[in-house]
Structure formats: structure tokens, C-alpha cells
């Protein structure tokens, strides 16, 4: 008998709720929505609400909500959104202390209850949280990744499609580096239907698109006022989970642990193009960067390093 997959969502807030809905709509498997005791009513409500919509389109996946970490046992994939989101005026780094405490609890639960899962972290500051998660769990580096690059690249593509009034499907792009204000959208590797982006959009407009991409998270924090983006982060995390669950071997930008790639120090997590399949992060691709791109990546790495080096475990 083929076993149904089990998707564990740690944190059932804004992103967690959308992850549960998408998991059911895409029929990835049964979902466990885990959160802390004060959120019990909210996660039970979300689980019930989603289960009640299943009949409309005939989804055979069920959501259960629990505040008992034992409920995570047997999960094939875990997506972590446990943590506090930004408020207007805050940087992701401002969340370090508070979210580090949370990730310590989360990491201990994952280690105890689902040591074989592929773990995707979404909590911010992204690259530092995934570093802490890897250190605490001691999981193999291929089984721990951070979701940022898929979202940052999707934001970039969204702005390019709007500028050109073209199908977003025809845009190939890649955003590298840390999930911060100095992330690196690679213009030289961006094409629309095979045509280099620099031939289609003037420099000033492209610079503005790059800036808007870098500040994409903050733009939403300012609009929402009470928290940060949730639809985009949820969809982007599901793309990574699907790649793992169905062994798609997709090449997606994700925060993966470096082992000397890009000439950067080993042991840090930062956004790079990865192949994601049944083996988790099966491969990290090293692109040939020109001097300007290398300098931008080095700058982004320094920001990540500064935050990571202040992590006390
Ligand atoms: N274990 C499990 N869940 C926890 C824990 C914990 N130790 N601590 C807090 N949570 C839960 C909260 O109870 C809440 O339901 O995490 C959930 C977070 O949900 P939201 O506040 O709605 O935040 P969300 O918008 O989903 O963002 C979560 O992802 O993108 C990042 O910056 C964002 O760090 C933030 C995280």
C-alpha cells in the first residue's frame, strides 16, 4: 500500500494557515498544523474550516491541529513558520532574539519527533534561523533548507511581468544571497522568452525593479501594518516541499549550507540555486559571476554572517 504523505506545519498563523490550505488543494498529503497552547483555538478552527471546504472540490487530504509535538511524528516534510513577523519600521534582523528562542524550541521538537523529515524554514531572519536549526538538530545539511529565494525571485518576476506586460511564465530569473535588503537579483541571468532582460527594459527601470524586489517584504509590512507577507511565502514554500515529495529535482534558489561554493566560507546558509528532490537539497549549483555580481554577493554574505555570528545557541 502506498502511504499518504504527512506534512507538518510548525506555526499555524498567517503563513501556516495558507500552507495548510495549499497542501490540501494540491493534495500533497495529510496535514498536521502544530502551534503553542495559546493558539489552540485558532489552529483547530483553521483545520476544521479547511476540512469543511474539502467536499467542494473533493480533496481527500485532512488537516489535524495539535499543540502536542508528538503529533509531528512521521512527518515527511516540515515547514516552519513559528515566529514573530515584522512590524512597520523593523528589519528582519530585529527579530533575531525573539525568533531564536522560538526556533530552539521548534528544533528540539523536530529532532525528537520527526528526525527523518526534510525541513524548510521560513521564520526570519531567514538565513540565521536556518543556521540555528541545522546546528541544534544536527540533521544532515541536505535535509535542512530555508525558503527565501523562490519568493524573492517570484517578486522580481512579478515586477518584470508588470513592466513588460508579458506572461510571467516566460521569465527566467534568479535572486541569490541572503534574504535581506542586499539580496542579489542576477540581471545577467534574467531572460524573457530567451531575450536578455537588459535588451527589453532600460537601466533606470531595471534598477527600480531591483530596489523594489529587495524591499519587497518591507513594502508588504507597510501595507499590512500588523504583520508580513503570507500568500507569497506560503506558495513559495510549497514549491520546495513539492519538489522534495515528488522528487521533481527542480532547480530553485534556496538557503542551503555552503561548502566552499562561490568562494564563501563553509558552514553558513545563504540563497543559492539548489536542486531539490527526494534527497532534499541534492546539489548546489555554482554560477560564474562577474566582478560586480561577486561583490554584491560578498556584501550580502557579510550581512548574513554578521547576524549568524551573533547567534548564541
Ligand atoms: N512553536 C510553534 N509555534 C509557535 C511557537 C513555537 N515555539 N512560537 C510561536 N508560534 C506560532 C505563533 O503562535 C503563531 O501562530 O507561530 C505563529 C506565527 O504566525 P504569525 O504571527 O501569523 O506569523 P506569520 O506571518 O505566519 O510569519 C511567521 O515567517 O516570514 C516569516 O517573518 C515571518 O518570522 C515570521 C514567520
- Return residue ranges of the chain for CATH 3.90.110.10: 149-308
pLDDT at residue 185 tops 80:
yes
pLDDT at residue 1, as a whole number: 74
| Mean pLDDT taken over the chain | 96
Q: Which CATH class is domain 6-146?
A: alpha beta
Is the CB of 105 inside a 6 Å radius of any atom of ligand 1?
yes
Is the CB of 206 inside a 6 Å radius of any atom of ligand 1?
no
Whether the ω angle into residue 125 lies within 30 degrees of 0, i.e. cis, is: yes
In this structure, the residue with its CA closest to atom 27 of ligand 1 is: 85
Query: Given the C-alpha cell 534574467, which residue does it identify?
Result: 190
Is the CB of 109 inside a 6 Å radius of any atom of ligand 1?
no
- Closest C-alpha among 163, 127, 170 to residue 302: 127
The residue-averaged pLDDT of 148-161 equals: 97
Q: How many CB atoms lie within 10 A of CB 140?
A: 12
Fold of 149-308: L-2-Hydroxyisocaproate Dehydrogenase; Chain A, domain 2 (3.90.110)
The residue-averaged pLDDT of 256-276 equals: 97
In the chain, % of residues over pLDDT 90:
97
Give burial (CB, 10 Å; 0-12/13-18/19+) of 135: middle
The residue-averaged pLDDT of 187-215 equals: 97
- Return residue ranges of the chain for CATH 3.40.50.720: 6-146
The residue-averaged pLDDT of 263-276 equals: 97
The residue-averaged pLDDT of 271-298 equals: 97
pLDDT at residue 107, as a whole number: 98
pLDDT at residue 273, as a whole number: 97
Count of CA atoms in the C-beta half-sphere (13 A) of 183:
34
Amino acid at each position: 500500500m502506498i502511504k499518504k504523505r504527512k506534512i507538518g506545519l510548525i506555526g499555524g498563523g498567517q503563513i501556516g494557515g495558507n500552507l495548510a490550505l495549499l497542501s490540501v488543494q494540491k493534495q500533497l498529503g495529510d496535514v498536521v498544523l502544530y502551534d503553542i497552547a495559546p493558539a489552540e483555538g485558532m489552529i483547530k478552527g483553521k483545520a476544521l474550516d479547511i476540512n469543511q471546504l474539502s467536499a467542494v472540490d473533493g480533496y481527500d487530504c485532512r488537516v489535524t491541529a495539535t499543540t502536542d509535538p508528538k503529533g509531528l511524528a512521521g512527518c515527511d516534510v516540515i515547514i516552519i513558520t513559528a515566529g514573530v513577523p515584522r512590524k512597520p519600521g523593523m528589519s528582519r534582523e530585529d527579530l533575531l532574539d525573539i525568533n531564536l528562542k522560538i526556533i530552539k524550541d521548534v528544533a528540539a521538537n523536530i529532532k525528537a519527533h520527526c528526525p527523518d523529515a526534510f525541513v524548510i524554514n521560513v521564520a526570519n531572519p531567514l538565513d540565521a534561523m536556518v543556521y540555528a536549526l541545522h546546528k541544534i538538530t544536527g540533521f544532515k545539511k541536505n535535509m535542512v533548507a530555508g525558503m527565501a529565494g523562490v519568493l524573492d525571485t517570484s517578486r522580481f518576476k512579478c515586477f518584470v511581468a508588470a513592466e513588460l506586460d508579458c506572461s510571467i511564465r516566460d521569465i527566467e530569473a534568479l535572486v541569490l544571497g541572503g534574504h535581506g535588503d542586499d539580496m542579489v537579483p542576477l540581471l545577467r541571468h534574467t531572460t524573457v522568452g530567451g531575450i536578455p532582460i537588459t535588451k527589453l527594459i532600460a537601466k533606470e527601470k531595471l534598477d527600480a525593479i531591483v530596489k523594489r524586489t529587495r524591499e519587497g517584504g518591507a513594502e508588504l509590512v507597510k501595507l499590512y501594518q500588523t504583520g508580513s507577507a503570507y500568500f507569497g511565502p506560503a506558495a513559495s514554500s510549497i514549491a520546495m516541499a513539492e519538489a522534495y515529495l515528488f522528487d521533481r529535482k527542480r532547480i530553485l534558489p534556496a538557503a542551503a549550507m555552503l561548502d566552499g561554493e562561490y568562494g564563501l566560507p563553509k558552514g553558513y546558509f545563504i540563497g543559492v540555486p539548489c536542486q531539490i528532490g527526494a534527497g532534499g537539497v541534492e546539489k548546489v549549483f555554482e554560477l560564474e559571476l562577474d566582478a560586480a555580481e561577486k561583490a554584491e554577493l560578498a556584501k550580502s554574505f557579510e550581512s548574513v554572517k554578521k547576524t549568524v555570528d551573533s547567534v548564541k545557541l
